[in-house]
Structure 1
Amino acid sequence: MKWPSFFRTIQAKLIIIYVLLILIAMQLIGVYFVSAMKNSLTSNFTKDLQERAELLSVLAADKLGGTGDTGENNPVESLGAIVNNLFNLNGAEIQVLDASGKVLITSYPSHADYVGKKNTQTVVSRALQGIKDNEEYVIDEDNVRKKVVAKPVMNNGKIVGAIYIVASMKELYDTMGRVNNIFISGILLALGMTCVLGVILAHTITHPIKEMTNHATAVAEGSFDQKMPVFGNDEIGQLSEAFNYMTSRLREALIQNEEEKEKLASILTNMSDGVIATDEAGKVILMNRRAGAILGVDEDELAGSDIAQVLGLTPEQADTFTEGTYVTMLLQISPEEEKEKSRHYMVRVTFTPIHRREFGITGTIAVLQDVTEQEKLEASRREFVANVSHELRTPLTTIKSYTEALDDGALDDPPLAARFVGVIQNETERMIRLVTDLLHLSRLDNKEALLRKQPTDVLEMLEDVSDRFSFQMQQKGILAEVRVEEGVQKAPFDRDQIDQVLDNLVSNALKYTPSGGSITMEAALTEGRLLAISVQDTGIGIPKKDLDRIFERFYRVDKARSRNMGGTGLGLSIAREIVLAHGGTISLQSELGQGTKVTFTLPLGDEGGSAS
């Protein structure tokens, strides 16, 4: 498996291409060179045979024509001496033929028996017919290539014979073979050197690429501290510099992206509103901690869930959400772990589609705003306005009715008129008390009520409260008791304000405690160095369902009975606001039919000072 992977590398491809280019070039050169050399050698060899045959035919013309005055007795023998001495060729046979084609002379002694016999070769027949260019290639029984040349012998325009030459081309082809061997050796040597040079060249090119690949892999894995070495000023060097620049810019971009991501994650985590992100199919892909708290689940549990099911949307609401438009809904959500406690969140959900160019809507951002307290405050405001309206309307209606009665003639009946005027006065005083309490609450809400804190004797204050209600308690046969723990002497607070708190608490206890009961006022120190003052009665008590709302304004456990007793429904609310203004707390404990205990605490710091 290693070699196939090597051949797929750029280095192997460069070496192969480089070697193939050299091999093809040398092959083309070799083919051309060998072909040209073969043609040249063959042409020269044939030309030499043609010239020898031409010269011999000239010499033989005089001998065979019998016209020459040579003084020789036997011209054939003289011609044989010329053939053997002057025209003897290594590996060639020369025959002199007469006009009939019979062999007169042969240069091969082994072919002496050819003398007197007729040579029937085609080239000989053509030569005896007067054709000068007669040649052909033959291969004998020993598989030796030979060149055959035949020339006519002319004497006075008459053919008197022919010259026949058969020359072996073995030496010529042996020479060509040696040249080919030399050429092949040169090709192999050149290819070897080419391979070495190709490896060096390929390494020079691929080494920077390998380095860049390693650095690119490291960058992909998050390592941006390594720098690509620059091996030169060529294109690869410029590429290395560009790669280093890209790495630095990418590192800066990722650092900035991480910072922005951390900022966004911190913002999402610490947002007071819940945020849920979905994909184009409405599946939850992201949820912050606040959204999980509102829904009562872990933010990782709902990944991949459908947001319509998560928020409990109705089919109509889900259809509106999937339209991809800006939508705001008010939903009531019950967290899973709070369902048994019947706790609900009023959540205003705003759906904002995410648009991506060329892709349309790719998701939705849902912002969950907990408006439970706002809705409660709004409901309380509406209830407060309704209660104030009702509290004012009742005495006003009574005053109007009695005024109309007086106007209709009740003034003429003095006893009846006096009773009507008394009712009008009582209702007027009731409205004055109501307005006074409302103004007092308004000043406390707006921090406009100044607290004049002074060291106050706690025992003396409680005894004064008991003395103010002593006559009413004696009338109902209620026993009053004051208890002050040892060590409790003076404490800094606004005496008038705390007197009002105690008056409201004792007044309530007196109203709802039957004859023969008792009211106990007690002062003690807590572990946190707070002064705790409590008012406990043995009255009718308060049902548990009303305990959470007992300090709300105008809230009455028994509305008809408390209104008949002259209460405005603001006493406990005013008491709570005064205690909170002092920096303390107030709480109420009660059992139906067993009595009620109201306790408030006051801090002991800032003695002798005053605060608003």
Structure 2
Amino acid sequence: MKKNFILRRILFILISAIVFWSLLTSIVYLRIARPIFRNMKSDDLFDHARIISYVAANEEDLKSENLDRLLILSIHFYDSAVFITDDQGNILVSKYAEGLPRDLLDEINNQFSSLVDNVLSNASEKSMVTVSEKMNKDLLIVSVPIIKNIGDKNYLSGSVVLIQTMDELQASYASLNSALLISALIVGLIVAIPVMFFAGKVIQPLTKMREAAAAMVQGDFSQRLEPMDEDNEISYLINAFNHLASELDANITDLTNERNQLQHIIDGIAEGIIAVNSEGKVTQNNDMVWRLFHQNVNIYTADELLNITGLDELFEICLTEQRIVVEIKESGSDLINCLISPLLDQDNVLYGSVGLFRDVTESEKLEETRREYVANVSHELRTPITAMRALLEPLNDGLVKNEENRQRYYGILLRETKRLSDLIDDMLELSRLQTSAKVANLGPIYLQRDLLDLAMRFEVLASQKNITFEINQPAQPLPSVWGKVDRITQILSTIMENAIKFTPEGGKIEMIINEDKSGLSVSIRDNGEGIKAKDLPHVFERFYKADKAHNEFGTGLGLSIAAELAEQMGHTLSVTSAEGKGSIFTLSMPYARDVMKSEPHLKDVFESES
């Protein structure tokens, strides 16, 4: 909006009104004043012509001195031409002013003769206006009859004709027009000053109102106008504007607070959220959706995010078909569940849609693990049960006659029963460990004697397979660690059992005990067949066996139980291996003093013992 628009408009209207008034006055003046001035001039000439007619009627000789002086006075005073005719219209006397040509009658003879004939025939006064093309002027002609009184009778003896240019009359017109224009200009200037002054007083609050409104458009809702003392329309408008600004400020503040609160709530949700309008443009989103799809919020806009991830197609389907869309999308190695629902108002008119995005990678992995677990459990249970059934059926039918064969069948049944019992025990143990927070009754323990006993026991088992068993430990006594003795020996027993199983005859197994700043570690190293690189990440998973046969060497739950026990005690169980070179399983345990110092409820106990 241009500045002072209203003031310019008022000034324009004022000037237009003055100009229109001047033009209208001039037109009316020209229409009315010209006939009036001409009649006034005609009356003046008629009066003078009557005087000449009276003198001529009373003079015996038209060339008398009195009449001649009167005619000379007429042509000089009125700047006109004077003619005296007889009763037949013949010119008897003529006098010309200096500005009139002597051949004037030659040009206007017809008009002159017509006028004289009319006067003589009717014995009345006549006037007319004609144009002289030679002079390029308008001419006023008046004529009066000459009436002689002889005795008691009046006789028409001729006429007097006066011809005068209308220069004086037109000069009067021009002077009056100039006076009108000048007066209109003066009046306009005189009127404009107070009009502009009062208009400025009216416009000033409107200008302030415009500036305040412009500031409000930019977001400054604190704008207010100064109230006026007068009780008029402007003051009412100012009060209404201030009230509107206050209400708008309050509403915008409430909306901003609600929007911020909504944004905080949305940002606090663990799932990603995107809302779009009916045209598919993003109106709301949270930061989580950017993290789920591994995109930088500082590089792309929310609308660009939809295009990059392909979510715009899902939103388009939702908006077009007005139905809920569910799909799982890949984001790198993650799986994102996308649930997009249409948004309908109370009239069931679509005004947008909202999408909820959840990382289901872990849940999908858990579901896959559950399916594998059920399948593995079913397989592991089916194997011994099938074997037992295959042996029991011939025994039950009396088909096994030989006592030696029966005993062999019984031995196989016993082994399968033990395998089934071990499998069930391991499954129950693993379930119990996974449902409890941590191993109970943890505390400071000294493992030196327990590790030696464990080594001696497995040295005997190793020697039965012609496997060399060695133990390497520090010369000084081992410091106490934090844990539980029976659980630690259970973990190490599982590792050494596997080492003996997978180490061929003539191989070697070592128990290596190390101390470092972080704690005590026990490593079991063998030179067996090792673990393939593709199988290494899965060695601690339930029922995982590298040969995938599931038909030898245990239940497949031992290392899973060991890893779960280590985690619940705060220990770390790790493995390194190379195919054909053997494996190293390491159990790392924290020092008891470090754990007791870090736990507030154990700190006093540690300090009192030290």
The alpha carbon displacement at 1:571 in A equals 0.9
Contact 2:45 2:162 in 1 (8 A): no
The alpha carbon displacement at 1:43 in A equals 3.0
Quick one: which of 360, 369, 381 aligns to 1:392? 381
Q: Which residue is equivalent to 1:151? A: 145
Structure 1 residues 7, 215: CA separation in 2 closer, same or farther (over 3 Å shift)?
A: closer
Contact 1:550 1:572 in 2 (8 A): yes
- CA distance in structure 1 between the aligned counterparts of 2:275 and 2:430, rounded to whole angstroms: 45
Structure 1 residues 150, 575: CA separation in 2 closer, same or farther (over 3 Å shift)?
A: same
Aligned-partner SS, 1:527: coil
Q: Which moved more, 1:438-447 or 1:537-546?
A: 537-546
Quick one: which of 558, 565, 569 aligns to 1:578? 565
- Segments of structure 1 that go 5 or more residues without pairing to the other structure are 64-73, 111-118, 336-343
- CA distance in structure 2 between the aligned counterparts of 1:320 and 1:180, rounded to whole angstroms: 81
The alpha carbon displacement at 1:587 in A equals 1.0
The alpha carbon displacement at 1:430 in A equals 1.9
Quick one: which of 20, 23, 30 aligns to 1:27? 23
- CA distance in structure 1 between the aligned counterparts of 2:369 and 2:65, rounded to whole angstroms: 152
Q: Which residue is equivalent to 2:102? A: none
Amino acid of the residue matched to residue 189 of structure 1?
I
Contact 2:50 2:144 in 1 (8 A): no
Q: Which residue is equivalent to 1:188? A: 185
Cα deviation code 1:247-302 (max 9, x no counterpart): 66666666666666666776777765556788999999999765565555546469
- CA distance in structure 1 between the aligned counterparts of 2:97 and 2:372, rounded to whole angstroms: 151
The alpha carbon displacement at 1:423 in A equals 2.5
Amino acid of the residue matched to residue 13 of structure 2?
I
Q: Which residue is equivalent to 2:556? A: 569
Structure 1 residues 403, 591: CA separation in 2 closer, same or farther (over 3 Å shift)?
A: same
Q: Which moved more, 1:601-610 or 1:458-467?
A: 601-610
Aligned-partner SS, 2:122: coil
Q: Which residue is equivalent to 1:507? A: 497
Q: Which residue is equivalent to 1:326? A: 324
Matched, 1:164 2:160: yes
- CA distance in structure 2 between the aligned counterparts of 1:312 and 1:40, rounded to whole angstroms: 92
Cα deviation code 1:412-457 (max 9, x no counterpart): 6544333333322222222222111111111111117751224322
The correspondence of residues 515-534 of structure 1 with structure 2, limited to 5 A, is 515-528=505-518, 530-534=519-523
Aligned-partner SS, 1:544: coil
Q: Which residue is equivalent to 2:365? A: 376
Contact 2:280 2:316 in 1 (8 A): no
Matched, 1:130 2:128: no
Contact 2:125 2:142 in 1 (8 A): no
Matched, 1:405 2:399: no
Amino acid of the residue matched to residue 40 of structure 1?
I
- CA distance in structure 1 between the aligned counterparts of 2:11 and 2:427, rounded to whole angstroms: 100
Contact 1:485 1:525 in 2 (8 A): no
Q: Which residue is equivalent to 2:526? A: 537
Structure 1 residues 296, 109: CA separation in 2 closer, same or farther (over 3 Å shift)?
A: closer
The correspondence of residues 256-405 of structure 1 with structure 2, limited to 5 A, is 272-273=270-271, 298=296, 300=299, 310-311=309-310, 324=321, 325-332=323-330, 335=332, 344-352=333-341, 368-405=357-394
Amino acid of the residue matched to residue 28 of structure 2?
Y
Structure 1 residues 318, 37: CA separation in 2 closer, same or farther (over 3 Å shift)?
A: closer
Contact 2:123 2:156 in 1 (8 A): no
The alpha carbon displacement at 1:481 in A equals 2.1
Aligned-partner SS, 1:409: coil
The alpha carbon displacement at 1:572 in A equals 0.9
The alpha carbon displacement at 1:165 in A equals 5.2
Structure 1 residues 594, 182: CA separation in 2 closer, same or farther (over 3 Å shift)?
A: closer
Amino acid of the residue matched to residue 527 of structure 1?
K
Contact 2:88 2:158 in 1 (8 A): no
Structure 1 residues 553, 39: CA separation in 2 closer, same or farther (over 3 Å shift)?
A: same
The alpha carbon displacement at 1:505 in A equals 1.9
Aligned-partner SS, 2:21: helix
Contact 1:130 1:159 in 2 (8 A): no
Q: Which moved more, 1:136-145 or 1:447-456?
A: 136-145
Q: TM-score, normalised by structure 2?
A: 0.74
Q: Which moved more, 1:394-403 or 1:89-98?
A: 89-98
- CA distance in structure 2 between the aligned counterparts of 1:176 and 1:349, rounded to whole angstroms: 93
Amino acid of the residue matched to residue 601 of structure 1?
S
Contact 2:145 2:156 in 1 (8 A): no
The alpha carbon displacement at 1:573 in A equals 0.9
Cα deviation code 1:94-143 (max 9, x no counterpart): 77766455778999999xxxxxxxx9854333333234142224678986
Aligned-partner SS, 1:593: coil
The alpha carbon displacement at 1:309 in A equals 8.0
- CA distance in structure 1 between the aligned counterparts of 2:238 and 2:400, rounded to whole angstroms: 113
- CA distance in structure 2 between the aligned counterparts of 1:82 and 1:93, rounded to whole angstroms: 15
- The alignment of Structure 1 onto Structure 2 pairs a total of residues equal to 573
Cα deviation code 1:510-566 (max 9, x no counterpart): 2223344444434444423x4433333343322222111101111122355x7444x
Cα deviation code 1:362-405 (max 9, x no counterpart): 98766554323222222211111111111111221222222222
Structure 1 residues 474, 35: CA separation in 2 closer, same or farther (over 3 Å shift)?
A: closer
Matched, 1:594 2:586: no
The alpha carbon displacement at 1:461 in A equals 1.8
Matched, 1:494 2:481: no
- CA distance in structure 1 between the aligned counterparts of 2:580 and 2:360, rounded to whole angstroms: 38
Structure 1 residues 347, 178: CA separation in 2 closer, same or farther (over 3 Å shift)?
A: closer
Q: Percent identity?
A: 26
Aligned-partner SS, 2:587: strand
Structure 1 residues 302, 518: CA separation in 2 closer, same or farther (over 3 Å shift)?
A: farther
- Segments of structure 2 that go 5 or more residues without pairing to the other structure are 99-108, 603-610
Q: Which residue is equivalent to 1:66? A: none
Structure 1 residues 571, 157: CA separation in 2 closer, same or farther (over 3 Å shift)?
A: farther
Aligned-partner SS, 1:488: coil
Aligned-partner SS, 2:327: strand
- CA distance in structure 2 between the aligned counterparts of 1:108 and 1:548, rounded to whole angstroms: 140
- CA distance in structure 1 between the aligned counterparts of 2:3 and 2:480, rounded to whole angstroms: 100
- CA distance in structure 2 between the aligned counterparts of 1:354 and 1:6, rounded to whole angstroms: 43
The alpha carbon displacement at 1:575 in A equals 1.0
